[in-house]
């Protein structure tokens, strides 16, 4: 083993057998990066050998396997899959005990079996691998040392593979810029059959099928982009692919059969003019393709969602001027998708918020078989399936950061015939779900949660829900909405009384869809046996997003800003009332009603704010706006006191603690209390603050910079995309200096 250990740190001789695209690219990459003292190429074709030396792919080349391999540290086999068996036999005869043997073949099960037969056992220095990279080009002339950069390489070590051999091969691939992962041989062959082998089969098959037809010349003359894109891979090496299909027969057949069933369904849909089926397949496929990697990683739905720390750099000063329209209301966007999906007929939504949270709701319903077109420029078309038309999702439904999706959806899912599991990101996984699980269970739902009522939630299907009256212990529109939605499926009446008024979008929208809701004082009531009918919804701009700019234009000197078409539902206007009490100069223009919701243009001018005691009754009406109100308080003269807002501790972050920490860092006197905060206005300084993955915290500190005397760096700002994807662009437009910090 001694020699192998040295090999992990220094490779003297690397032999690459097979100077096709993959082998030659590997050899050239290793040689260019100086990862081995000597790179020797082996190919049966003497011309390829000559060419490889000419192109600087290898130090020397030979047609003699034994001559190259005896005494080599690493041998890479890059030959067609079916040629591997005889190659392994030849290598076994050479008794290369100290040589690491690895390969780049697309099928691993077949190779493992061949190795077993050739060596009589699996050699510890055999490391099976497969780079997920390639091109339709082939041969030594196509060699590209960067072919593997940022591509995945899958290693499939067997149980007895020596760890140092794995490390050695891993380092080689990493040295070429690849990301190395490992998985079992079986999993590899299954995954590759679906993602690589099947599409190649289809491409080869389609081109051949068209070429065979008598009118083929005509067909190819008119073959444009779509045909070219789809069939690009039919230009790949036929021998290589012939081998792959024979070697991975079983896994490919399994994938092919499944695909054939789906193709039959598509055929039938066309024959029967079933447009909904076609639209369903196409819309789902389109999103799946756009968000493939993110869906796979169970992460985000929009690109801005990165794993690493996204820092907003907010430079001090600035004025806030102009006319803007902030994106659509998050609460209304969620509900439009939910009710649209459960309605009979089509619902057209305009002004939809294309943020992460609302996209998570779309994805959830797509997972349950609802055809949803868009969003495109805020337009979404939902093809409702009726109250009882949802289908079981293929797996757990991932709702990202969105508490609203998880809580409202639970009310619907508790009453379905099938089981569902709802999961979320790290922040959502810490948030309390017993507030909905408990009353839903009282109605007869069967719900499992993680410890202390946290997500994931599993809702068991096939339960009969019974209507009930529920006195909500906290003022929560999400809980109220969840129960009203469940109430549409429960026998008898379901009524909810709230301790203080909360947003009533669910009640309004249910009525908009023709579903009767009775609201008397603090109690909302529904009963089963009614239907939702598809409708048109115009989503107003989100007052919660507008709030950042209301505070911005109030605290920045010489500012005047008009926020267009903002939803001013009276259950949401706490921010306006509180700012006015603080002395803000806000006025509403063009107040009118759109689809059951009041909207207005809001004009904001700079003002000298003063500290106040925030009236208790306004707290639920401004529940999402407190982080930015705390910035207003920091800029106000005197003390601002908030009480009765313990709910802030269980939002996307503990908004009291996180704001106290940030404000204190910036030199503002701020003290948290169990249910609120006390802030003394003062001079805001610069510094580093953390948003803790909470969109509204990141945006609030961005606003604070308008009155800071130095820059504020806001860490962990990535979740701004959940509710306000174009926040930075609008900041720039009005004159604020906030930007993503470019990572070195
Ligand atoms: C929402 C209700 C509020 C709010 C959230 C959206 C809704 O949550 O904070 O952003 O759309 O119903 P609670 O119901 O937890 O107060």
Q: Whose CA is nearest to atom 15 of ligand 1?
A: 476
On whether the CB atoms of residues 706 and 736 are closer than 8 A, the answer is yes
| Predicted local distance difference test score (pLDDT) of residue 228 | 85
Q: How many CA atoms lie within 13 A of 527 on its CB side?
A: 5
Separation of alpha carbons 587 and 568, rounded Å: 12
| Predicted local distance difference test score (pLDDT) of residue 139 | 87
| Predicted local distance difference test score (pLDDT) of residue 9 | 54
Separation of alpha carbons 39 and 367, rounded Å: 50
Separation of alpha carbons 30 and 143, rounded Å: 12
Ligand 1 center to 220 CA (angstroms): 56
Separation of alpha carbons 298 and 292, rounded Å: 10
Ligand 1 pocket at CB < 6 A? 331, 404, 476-478, 481, 503, 623-624, 647
The CATH H-level (homologous superfamily) assignment of domain 191-262 is: 6-phosphogluconate dehydrogenase C-terminal like domain (1.10.3660.10)
Tell which residue, 333, 388, 334, 415, has the closest CA to residue 531.
Answer: 388
Separation of alpha carbons 736 and 266, rounded Å: 51
Please name the CATH architecture into which domain 3-183 falls: 3-Layer(aba) Sandwich (3.40)
Separation of alpha carbons 655 and 724, rounded Å: 18
For 372-392, write each residue's pLDDT tens digit: 999 999 999 999 999 999 999
Residue with tokens 């379901």: 494
| Predicted local distance difference test score (pLDDT) of residue 189 | 97
Separation of alpha carbons 741 and 310, rounded Å: 7
pTM of the model: 0.79
Q: Where are the domains of the chain?
A: 3-183, 191-262, 312-325+540-740, 333-535
SS3 96: coil
For the CA atoms of 84, 85, 90, 93, what is the dihedral angle to 10 degrees? 130
Atom number of ligand 1 nearest to Cα 331? 11
| Predicted local distance difference test score (pLDDT) of residue 499 | 96
Q: Which of 328, 330, 331 to mutate to test the pocket of ligand 1 (most atoms within 8 A of CB)?
A: 331
Q: CA 179: distance to chain centroid? A: 20
On whether the CB atoms of residues 341 and 316 are closer than 8 A, the answer is no
Separation of alpha carbons 75 and 544, rounded Å: 62
Ligand 1 center to 476 CA (angstroms): 6
Tell which residue, 134, 442, 378, 305, has the closest CA to residue 717.
Answer: 305
Q: Whose CA is nearest to atom 13 of ligand 1?
A: 476
Atom number of ligand 1 nearest to Cα 480? 14
Residues carrying an active site annotation = 624
Separation of alpha carbons 487 and 490, rounded Å: 5
For 540-576, write each residue's pLDDT tens digit: 999 999 999 999 999 999 999 999 999 999 999 999 9
Ligand 1 center to 505 CA (angstroms): 11
On whether the CB atoms of residues 174 and 180 are closer than 8 A, the answer is yes
Q: Which of 407, 478, 507, 620 to mutate to test the pocket of ligand 1 (most atoms within 8 A of CB)?
A: 478
Separation of alpha carbons 468 and 481, rounded Å: 14
Atom number of ligand 1 nearest to Cα 503? 12
Atom number of ligand 1 nearest to Cα 334? 11
Please name the CATH architecture into which domain 312-325+540-740 falls: Alpha-beta prism (3.65)
| Predicted local distance difference test score (pLDDT) of residue 293 | 54
- Tokens at 210, concatenated: 């068209």
DSSP code of 223?
-
Ligand 1 center to 667 CA (angstroms): 31
Q: How many CA atoms lie within 13 A of 321 on its CB side?
A: 5
Q: Residue 578: count other Cβ atoms within 10 Å of its Cβ.
A: 25
Same fold, 3-183 and 191-262: no
| Predicted local distance difference test score (pLDDT) of residue 308 | 62
Q: Residue 217: count other Cβ atoms within 10 Å of its Cβ.
A: 9
Separation of alpha carbons 509 and 514, rounded Å: 9
Separation of alpha carbons 125 and 97, rounded Å: 8
Bridge-based pairing of strands 712-715 and 469-471 is unpaired
On whether the CB atoms of residues 416 and 393 are closer than 8 A, the answer is no
Question: CA–CA distance from 397 to each of 438, 460, 636 (Å)?
Answer: 21, 14, 44
Q: Whose CA is nearest to atom 16 of ligand 1?
A: 476
Ligand 1 center to 413 CA (angstroms): 19
On whether the CB atoms of residues 197 and 248 are closer than 8 A, the answer is yes
Ligand 1 center to 197 CA (angstroms): 46
* Region 333-535: CATH code: 3.65.10.10
| pLDDT lower than 50: segments of the chain | 1-8, 295, 297-306
Q: Whose CA is nearest to atom 9 of ligand 1?
A: 624
Helix axes 238-247, 109-119, angle to 10 degrees: 80
């Amino acid at each position: 083993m001694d020699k192998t250990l040295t090999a992990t740190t220094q490779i003297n001789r690397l032999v690459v057998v097979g100077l096709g695209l993959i082998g030659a690219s590997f050899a050239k990459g290793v040689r260019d990066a100086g990862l081995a003292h000597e790179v020797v190429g082996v190919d049966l074709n003497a011309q390829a050998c000559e060419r490889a030396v000419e192109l600087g792919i290898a130090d020397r080349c030979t047609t003699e396997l034994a001559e190259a391999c005896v005494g080599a540290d690493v041998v890479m086999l890059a030959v067609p899959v079916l040629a591997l068996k005889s190659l392994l036999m030849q290598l076994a005869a050479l008794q290369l005990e100290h040589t690491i043997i690895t390969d780049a073949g697309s099928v691993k099960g077949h190779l493992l079996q061949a190795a077993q037969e050739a060596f009589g056992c699996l050699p510890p220095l055999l490391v099976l691998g497969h780079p997920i990279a390639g091109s339709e080009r082939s041969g030594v002339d196509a060699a590209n040392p960067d072919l593997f950069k940022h591509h995945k390489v899958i290693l499939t070590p067997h149980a007895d593979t020596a760890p140092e051999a794995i490390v050695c091969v891993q380092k080689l691939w990493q040295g070429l810029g690849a990301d190395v992962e490992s998985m079992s041989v079986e999993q590899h062959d299954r995954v590759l059959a679906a993602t690589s082998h099947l599409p190649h089969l289809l491409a080869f098959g389609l081109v051949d099928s068209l070429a065979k037809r008598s009118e083929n010349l005509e067909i190819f003359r008119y073959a444009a982009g779509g045909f070219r894109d789809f069939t690009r891979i039919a230009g790949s090496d036929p021998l290589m692919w012939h081998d792959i299909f024979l070697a991975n027969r079983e896994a490919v057949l399994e994938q092919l059969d499944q695909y054939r069933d789906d193709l039959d369904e598509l055929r039938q849909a066309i024959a029967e003019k079933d447009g909904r089926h076609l639209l369903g397949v196409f819309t789902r496929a389109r999103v799946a393709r756009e968000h493939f990697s993110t869906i796979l990683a169970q992460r985000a739905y929009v690109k801005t969602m990165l794993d690493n720390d996204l820092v907003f750099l907010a430079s001090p000063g600035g004025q806030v001027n102009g006319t803007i329209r902030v994106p659509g209301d998050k609460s209304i966007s969620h509900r439009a998708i939910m009710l649209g999906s459960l309605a009979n007929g089509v619902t057209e939504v305009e002004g939809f918020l294309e943020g992460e949270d609302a996209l998570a709701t779309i994805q959830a319903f797509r997972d349950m078989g609802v055809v949803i077109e868009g969003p495109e420029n805020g337009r979404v078309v939902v093809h409702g399936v009726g109250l009882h038309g949802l289908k079981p999702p293929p797996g757990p439904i991932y709702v990202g950061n969105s508490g609203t999706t998880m809580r409202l959806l639970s009310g619907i899912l508790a009453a379905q015939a099938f089981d569902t599991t709802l999961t979320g990101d790290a922040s959502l996984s810490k948030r309390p779900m017993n507030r909905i699980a408990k009353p839903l269970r009282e109605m007869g739902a069967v719900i499992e949660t993680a410890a202390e009522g946290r997500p994931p939630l599993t809702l068991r299907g096939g339960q009969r829900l019974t209507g009930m009256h529920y006195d909500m212990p906290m003022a929560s529109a999400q809980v109220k909405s969840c129960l009203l939605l469940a109430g549409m499926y429960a026998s008898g009446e379901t009524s909810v009384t709230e301790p203080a008024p909360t947003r009533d979008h669910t009640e309004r929208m249910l009525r908009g869809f023709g579903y009767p809701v009775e609201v008397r004082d603090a109690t909302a009531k529904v009963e089963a046996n009614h239907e939702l009918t598809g409708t048109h919804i115009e989503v107003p701009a989100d007052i919660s997003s507008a709030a950042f700019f209301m505070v911005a234009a109030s605290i920045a000197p010489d500012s005047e800003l008009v926020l267009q078409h903002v939803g001013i539902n009276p259950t949401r206007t706490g921010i306006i009332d509180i700012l006015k009490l603080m002395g803000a100069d806000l006025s509403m223009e063009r107040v009118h009603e759109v689809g059951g919701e009041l909207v207005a243009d809001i004009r904001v001018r700079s003002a000298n704010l003063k500290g106040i005691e925030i009236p208790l009754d306004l707290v639920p009406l401004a529940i999402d706006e407190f982080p930015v109100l705390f910035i207003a308080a920091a800029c106000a003269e005197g003390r601002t006191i908030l009480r009765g807002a313990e709910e802030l501790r269980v939002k996307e972050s503990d908004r009291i603690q996180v704001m106290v920490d940030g404000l204190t860092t910036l030199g503002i006197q701020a003290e948290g209390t169990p249910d609120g905060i006390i802030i003394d206005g003062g001079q805001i300084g610069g510094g580093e603050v953390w948003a803790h993955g909470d969109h509204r915290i990141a945006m609030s500190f961005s606003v604070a910079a308008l009155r800071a005397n130095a820059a504020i760096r806001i860490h962990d700002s990535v979740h701004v995309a959940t509710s306000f994807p174009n926040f930075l662009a609008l900041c720039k437009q009005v004159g604020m200096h906030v930007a993503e910090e470019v990572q070195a």
